[in-house]
Amino acid sequence: MEHDVTAERARPVSTRFELAALRMVGAWLAAGRMSVSAAEMQIAREFLEHAGWSVEDVPGARVRLVNAQGRSEEMSREAAVLAALQRLATRNK
């Protein structure tokens, strides 16, 4: 069965995270563990802030995510990137 990908319009990309997510996950799978660098966290932060979340740094390589209603949750950088991946997947449905 043929599928002409040029017949479909590409969805516009609005954040770097949308482009970097697949590369990040691939690197974690290849390494056999998840590790988020400060640069990767910055890319995820941009995406989360673009989606309406506030991202605050807290001690110990942790962040606090605050939603529009003011609810907050403190988590590791890895958990924050997973939250960004979940939001990306939900948005693309």
**Alpha helices of 1-93 — where are they, by DSSP H?**
16-31, 38-50, 77-91
Q: What is the tens place of the pLDDT at every residue in 53-88?
A: 999 999 988 999 999 899 999 999 999 999 999 999
Q: Are 50 and 68 in contact (CB under 8 A)?
A: no
- Parse the chain into domains and list their residue ranges: 16-91
Give pTM, 2 decimals: 0.82
- The mean of the pLDDT values for the chain is 90
Q: What is the tens place of the pLDDT at every residue in 30-44?
A: 999 999 999 999 999
- For the segment 21-38, the average pLDDT, to the nearest whole number, is 94
